[in-house]
């Protein structure tokens, strides 16, 4: 086995050096954090010392067929080696992840690790870490958990303050709600409509373009009956125009679109041909926080050609990590209108407020 010692500022840097010499099949034999003396006892410099090794491939001799058939020890040995190498790769990946914050003081790591658990983007986490560390260097002292949280909250407030937050404006007549199947679109529409009727005393109506699922139409009818509001079904653009004409005397018209697999662009194009987006309309994209962030990002990408005003995030109560909400808002420059945390209509609906959402994100960090 070839062995080599590496010294680097961070574990990530050390791993990159290991990979450059030995590739992904390297074996980490040991790793240590070496601390050098700092100025007046503060800001001690930490380095990572890693010893890595690599087994050179053994040239296997081809045995005669009758020997291969009777001697089964070699294939078994190969399987064990392969299993060990897979385990080593897994451990290497875990070490890489745990060393993500190697450049930051130990006092900062609990908060940064907590935010990582909330699935906040690495970009935002490192912004927070650098901001707190800058304050520590300026004041030449460690910061308490409470002080760290306040700096993190201030930074995030500044980062997202330019985005729009809050529910429907009541200045536009048509409320168009878009989103993939399974995100709770119809229930969310009912919650918003009930608030508009009961709290704002608006005359409301519904148009559904979800003609693919009978259950969806019946669900909307049930909510509409409870709210004593009319419902129209639009199978095509002409039906949509007729529905608009029938409801011209209402204050607000809520449009429930079909829940489809919007990873396929053709379904988004269908919406463009069915709905007149030039109307006096607000459009919202509904996303379930329980979905993978990559899948949510794919959906958003498909809808970038439509005038999306704000996001509506659903099923917040069904996940322990809400960082992806902030990641999507940051990446696409789109704020939030509402988030839902249950099935009750209209109770389990909260109008998006940045300060409250940050409080949710950081809840529990004081105990990290």
What are the tens digits of pLDDT across the range 285-304?
999 999 999 999 999 998 88
Rounded to an integer, what distance in angstroms lies between the CA atom of residue 310 and that of residue 323?
A: 17
pLDDT score at 227? 93
Cβ-count burial of 22 within 10 angstroms (0-12 exposed, 13-18 middle, 19+ buried)? middle
Tokens 């987006």 belong to 277
pLDDT of residue 350: 92
List residues bridging with 47 in a β-sheet: 34
What are the two backbone dihedrals, phi and then psi, of residue 308, each rounded to the nearest 5 degrees? -75, 120
How much is the pTM? 0.70
Question: What does the alpha-carbon distance between residue 165 and residue 155 come to, in Å, rounded to a whole number?
Answer: 17
Q: What is the pLDDT of residue 180?
A: 85
Q: Could you tell me the pLDDT band of residue 218, with boundaries at 50, 70 and 90?
A: confident
Residue 284: name the closest of 252, 260, 257 by CA. Answer: 257
Most confident of 85-89, 98-102, 136-140, 200-204: 200-204
Given this model, what pLDDT does residue 284 score? 96
Which pair of tokens denotes residue 213?
């699922």
CATH, domain range 174-352:
3.40.50.300
- Give the number of other CB atoms < 10 A from CB of residue 276: 14
| 8 A C-beta contact, residue 354 and residue 165 | yes
Residue 109: burial class (beta carbons within 10 Å; 0-12, 13-18, 19+):
middle
Question: Per-residue pLDDT tens for 110-120?
Answer: 899 999 999 99
Helix 214-226 to helix 185-198 angle, to the nearest 10 degrees? 10
For residues 173 and 253, is the Cβ–Cβ distance under 8 A?
yes
Give the whole-number percent of the chain exceeding pLDDT 70.
76
∠ CA 175-227-166, nearest 5°, is: 35
Q: Pick the residue with more confidence: 33 or 116?
A: 116
Of 268 and 171, more confident: 171
More confident of the two residues 170 and 38: 170
Rounded to an integer, what distance in angstroms lies between the CA atom of residue 229 and that of residue 34? 70
Query: What is the model's pLDDT at position 78?
Result: 65
Distance from C-alpha of 85 to C-alpha of 79, rounded to nearest angstrom: 10
Tell me the two tokens of residue 214: 């009978």
b/e sequence 225-256, b meaning 16+ C-beta within 10 Å: eebebbbbbbeeeebbeebbeebeebebbbbb
Which of 93-107, 142-156, 177-191, 316-330 is least confident?
Answer: 93-107
């Amino acid at each position: 086995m070839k062995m080599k010692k590496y010294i680097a500022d961070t574990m990530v840097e050390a791993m990159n050096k290991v990979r450059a010499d030995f590739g992904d099949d390297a074996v980490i034999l040991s790793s240590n954090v070496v601390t050098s003396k700092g100025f007046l006892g503060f800001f001690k410099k930490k380095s990572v010392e890693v010893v890595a090794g690599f087994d050179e491939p053994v040239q296997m001799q081809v045995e005669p067929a009758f020997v291969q058939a009777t001697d089964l020890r070699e294939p078994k040995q190969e399987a064990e080696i392969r299993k060990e190498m897979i385990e080593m790769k897994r451990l290497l990946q875990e070490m890489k992840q745990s060393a993500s914050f190697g450049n930051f003081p130990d006092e900062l790591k609990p908060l940064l690790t907590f935010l990582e658990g909330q699935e906040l983007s690495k970009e935002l986490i490192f912004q927070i870490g650098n901001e707190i560390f800058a304050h520590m260097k300026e004041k030449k002292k460690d910061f308490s958990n409470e002080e760290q949280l306040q700096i993190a909250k201030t930074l995030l407030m500044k980062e997202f303050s330019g985005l729009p937050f809050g529910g429907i404006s009541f200045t536009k007549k048509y409320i168009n709600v878009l989103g993939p199947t399974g995100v709770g679109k119809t229930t969310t529409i009912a919650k918003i409509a009930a608030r508009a009727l009961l709290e704002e005393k608006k005359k409301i109506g519904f148009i559904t373009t979800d003609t693919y699922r009978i259950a969806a139409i019946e669900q909307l009818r049930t909510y509409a009956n409870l709210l004593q509001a009319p419902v129209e079904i639009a199978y095509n653009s002409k039906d949509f125009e007729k529905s608009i004409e029938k409801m011209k005397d209402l204050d607000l018209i809520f449009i429930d679109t079909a829940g489809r697999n919007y990873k396929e662009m053709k379904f988004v194009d269908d919406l463009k041909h069915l709905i007149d987006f030039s109307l006096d309309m607000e459009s919202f994209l509904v996303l379930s926080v329980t979905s993978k962030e990559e899948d949510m990002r794919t959906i958003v990408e498909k809808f970038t050609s439509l005038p999306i005003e704000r996001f509506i995030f659903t099923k917040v109560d069904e996940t322990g990590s809400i960082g992806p909400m902030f990641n999507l808002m940051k990446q696409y420059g789109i704020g939030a209108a509402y988030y839902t945390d249950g099935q009750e209509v209209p109770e389990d609906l909260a109008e998006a407020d940045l300060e409250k959402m940050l409080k949710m994100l950081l809840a529990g960090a004081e105990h990290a």
